[in-house]
Chain A
Amino acid sequence: MTTGPGDTGPPRRWSPTVPGGGHHGAAGGPPQASGVSAARAAVRSAVRDDAEARARALLVVRLTIALYLAELLLNLLRPHVQPHEPALSIFERTTRLSGSVGRLLATPRTVFWLVLAGIVAGVLLQVLVMATRPDERRARTLTWLTVAVVLGPFGLIPLTVIAEYPLQALACVPGTAFALALLHFGQRFSRIPAMMLLAAFAWGALVVFGLGRAASNLAFGTLYGFMGDGAQSDLTRLAERQYDALDVVVVHSGVVNALVVAAGVALLLVLFRHRVTDAVTGLVVGAAIGLGYNLVESTLIIRLFGTLSAFTGTTGGFEYWVRQSIGLLGGQVAFGAVLGAGFGLAAQARRRGGRTRAALAGLAAAICGAIATETLAAWLSRIVHDHVSVGGPLDTLVVSPFLWLLPQAPFIVVAVLLLAVGTRARAAAARDAVAAEAASGTAITRWEAPFLADPALRFWSLVSTGRLYGRGSALALRRLQLAQLDLAAWRWQHPGVLDGPAKEEGDRLRARVMLLRTRPGIRPAAAPRPGQVTP
C-alpha cells in the first residue's frame, strides 16, 4: 500500500516474531487485580454512585413502593363480600394446600411483611444518613442498602417459583441465554456493558415479576370485593364474578408491569455508565428486562398449565414451545423493547415536549401490547373453535401459536423497525467518529478506519485472522477493535473536547488502544467509563 504525501504510514512493526519480543510501545500496563477486588473494581467502574445518581435511584425506588402501597390501600378499602373477611385479602385462609402450590400461595403474605419491614428499615437508614451526614463512602453504602431492603422482598416470589420448579426453570435457560447473547453481540457500535444487560435481566426476573404478582394478587382481591355480590351459594355466579375480576386483573397487570419495566429502564440508564443513550440502548435494556420476566413467567406457566391439561388441553411442553421457542422474542421482550426504545428516544430529544411524547408512546405501546395479547388471542381462539381440530398437529404447531403471536406482531414489527433505524443511525455516526479520530490521532490510522466502520469488513478480518494466525491472534485483534470503537464512541459524544475530565477520558482510551497494540495479551484493569474518575 503506497503512502501519500504527508502520511506517516502504518506503524512499522510487522515482523513474524513471537508476541512480546522486539516491540516499541508503552511500558507495561497496570497489574492484574485478582478475585473480589477485581469484581469490586469492575462494579465501581460500571455503576455511577455520585449523589445525583443515588438521588434518582431513591426516587425510582420510592415511586415503585408507592405503587405497592396504593394497591394495599385500595385492598383495605374494598367492600367485604363475606363475613369475617380479613382486612387484606391476601390473608384470607382458603382450603389449606400443601406442596409447591401452598408455598406459592403463601408468598404474597410473606412479601407483605418483608416489604413493611423493608420500608421501616429504609426510612431508618435515610434518617440515619440525614442525621449523621456520613462521608461519601458511607452515604453510598447506606443508599444502596436502602434500595436493597426496600425492593429485595419482591424477589421472594420469583425465587420461590424457580426453587419450586427448578426443572422447568432449567429448561428455559438455553433459549433465554441465546436471546441475551443475541442482544449483547447484536449491538454493533458502542455496546452497553455486559453488567448493565445482566442487571436489566435481573430487574425483569425479580422486581417486575415479583412486584407485578404481588400487586395483581392484591388487585384481584380488591376487584372481587367491588364486583362480588355475596352469592356464595350460586357456584355459576361465583365463577362468573371471579372470571370478570380476572379479566380486569389482566388489564391491571399490563399497566403495572409496564410501569415497573419503565422504572427499570430509567434506573439503569441513569445508574450505569455507558457511552451512548439512544433508541438502540433503550431497546436492548427493555428487551433484557422482558427476557428476565419471561423466564420466570414461563417457568410458572409451563408447570401450571401442564398440571391443568385435562381442563385446558394444554401441556407443559406446548407452553414451552409457544413461550420459549417460537414466541421467545415476542411478548414482554418485544413490549419491553418498544418501551425502552421510547425512553431512549426521549433521552435524545432536545425539547421537553418531545421527551414526554416519546416516553409516553413507548409506555402506552407496552401496556396496549400486553393487554391485547391476552384478550385478543383468547377471542381469536374462540372464533376458530369450530374450524380447527383441537390438539392436532396443525393446532399445536400452527394455529394456536399463530393466534398467540398475531396480536404481538405489530409490536414486534415496530421493535424491528426501531432497531433498524437506530442501527443505521449508529453506523453513520460510527463512520464519522472513526474518520474524525483517524484524522486527529494515532490510535486509529487511515488504514484501520475502513475496517472499524464496516461491520462486514471487521467480521471478515477477524475470521480471516483466526484462520490464518490462530484464535489468540483473532482475540487480540478483536480486543484492539473494541477499544478503538470505544474511543470512537467517546469521540461521537465529545466531538470538540479540548480540556477537562472528558479530554482526560479520551487520553486514557487512546492509551488503552496503544497498550493493546504493543501488549495484546494484557487485559488493562478496567476501561475508563463515561464520567468515571480514575483513582
Chain B
Amino acid sequence: MTRRPARRATLHLFGLLLGTLFAALLILPLTPQQASACDVSYAYRPSIDLEHFGRTRTCSTGTSLVGVALVSVVTVGALTATGFLVYRRGAATAGTPPGRSAPAPALAAYLQATGLPLPPPNRPPAGGYPPPAGGPPPPAGGYPSPGGYPPSYGRPGGGDAAPPG
C-alpha cells in the first residue's frame, strides 16, 4: 500500500470512529449515573447507602497491586521476547546461525567498514584475524545469504555489484 492511500484510509477510519462515538454521545442522556462497579473518574456518581455505610466492598489496594505486578511481568516478558526475536531476525538477515559463539564474517566486515578502533574480541573470529591491510578475506564458499545479505544498495542509475560467492 503506498503512502497516500494508506493515509487516506487512516483518515477515513478516523472519521468513522468519530462519527460513531459522537452518535453514542448524543444518544446518552447526560444525567448522573449511580455507582455500580468501582468508580474510576469524575462522571461516576456514588450511591450513598447509609444502611451499609462503611461496610461497602471496595476494589482493594491488595488486589489492585496483584494486577500491577501481573501487568509488569507481562510487559517485561513481552519486551524481552521482542528483543530476542529482533536479534534473531537480524542474525538471520546477516546469515549467521543462532548460537554462534565467534564473530560472524558479516559483523567483522561491517565493523571493519566502520573503521572503529576496537579491542580484540573476547572470542577470535572464525578463521583468525583478517590482515590489517587489503580488507578481510571472504570465507570459503562465500557469505551465506538466505536473507540475501548484503541487500543490494546500488548506486542510482547504476547496476549492483553481485554479492560475494
Interface of A with B (CB < 8 Å)? Answer: 1-4, 7, 9-21, 23, 25, 240, 243-244, 246-248, 250, 301, 305, 308-322, 324-326, 345, 357-358, 361, 364-365, 368-369, 371-379, 381-385, 388-393, 395-397, 399-401, 403-404, 407, 410-411, 414, 417-418, 421, 425, 434-436, 438-439, 445-451, 453-461, 463-465, 467-470, 473, 476-477, 480, 517-518, 520
Contacts and interface: CB of A to CB of B under 8 A. Distances in A.
Interface string B85-128: 01101110110100000011101011111111111111100000
B40 A450 contact: no
Contact of B151 (A320, A324, A450): A450
A381 B33 contact: yes
Q: Chain A: interface secondary structure?
A: helix
Contact of A326 (B67, B96, B123): B67
Nearest to A424: B6
Contact of A457 (B13, B93, B156): B93
B30 A12 contact: no
B75 to A, nearest CB: 8
B64 A315 contact: yes
A183 B31 CA distance: 38
A476 B111 CA distance: 11
A266 to B, nearest CB: 19
B66 to A, nearest CB: 7
A469 B161 contact: no
Contact of B10 (A301, A382, A392, A417): A417
Contacts of A520: 116-117
A84 B51 CA distance: 38
Contacts of B90: 454, 456-461
A425 B105 CA distance: 31
B24 A310 contact: no
A391 B86 CA distance: 41
Given A7-B161, A396-B64, A449 B25 contact: no
Interface string B52-75: 011011111111111110011000
A445 B59 CA distance: 59
Given A21-B117, A23-B117, A450-B149, A414 B17 contact: yes
B129 A446 contact: no
A382 B40 contact: no
B28 A312 contact: no
A122 B125 CA distance: 66
B164 A1 contact: yes
A2 B164 contact: yes
Contact of B115 (A11, A243, A246): A11
Contacts of A312: 35, 38-39, 44, 46
A395 B117 contact: no
A19 B116 CA distance: 8
Given A368-B18, A464-B104, 13 more contacts: A7-B161, A9-B135, A12-B133, A243-B45, A315-B64, A321-B65, A361-B14, A391-B60, A425-B6, A445-B113, A456-B89, A459-B87, A468-B121
Contacts of B39: 305, 312-314, 381
Nearest to A247: B30
B62 A390 contact: no
Interface of B: 3, 6-7, 10-11, 13-15, 17-18, 20-22, 24-25, 28, 30-46, 48, 53-54, 56-68, 71-72, 83, 86-87, 89-91, 93-94, 96, 103-105, 107, 109-123, 129-130, 132-136, 138, 143, 149-151, 153-156, 161-162, 164
B153 A450 contact: yes
B21 A465 contact: no
30 contacts: A10-B135, A12-B133, A12-B135, A19-B118, A313-B57, A313-B58, A314-B38, A318-B64, A320-B64, A320-B68, A322-B40, A358-B11, A361-B14, A377-B40, A383-B36, A385-B34, A388-B37, A393-B63, A397-B67, A401-B67, A438-B153, A447-B150, A453-B151, A456-B90, A457-B94, A460-B91, A460-B94, A468-B123, A480-B114, A520-B117
Contact of A18 (B36, B119, B135, B143): B119
Given A1-B138, A326-B67, A13 B164 contact: no
A289 to B, nearest CB: 19
With most chain A CB atoms within 10 A of its CB, the pick from B25, B41, B60, B94 is B41
Contact of B58 (A309, A320, A411, A438): A309
Ordered nearest first, which 8 A-B pairs have the shortest CB separation?
A317-B61, A460-B90, A391-B57, A385-B36, A4-B161, A447-B113, A321-B64, A10-B113
A311 B57 contact: no
Nearest to A421: B6
A439 B160 CA distance: 11
Contacts of B122: 467-470
B61 A448 contact: no
Contacts of A395: 37-38, 59
B136 to A, nearest CB: 6
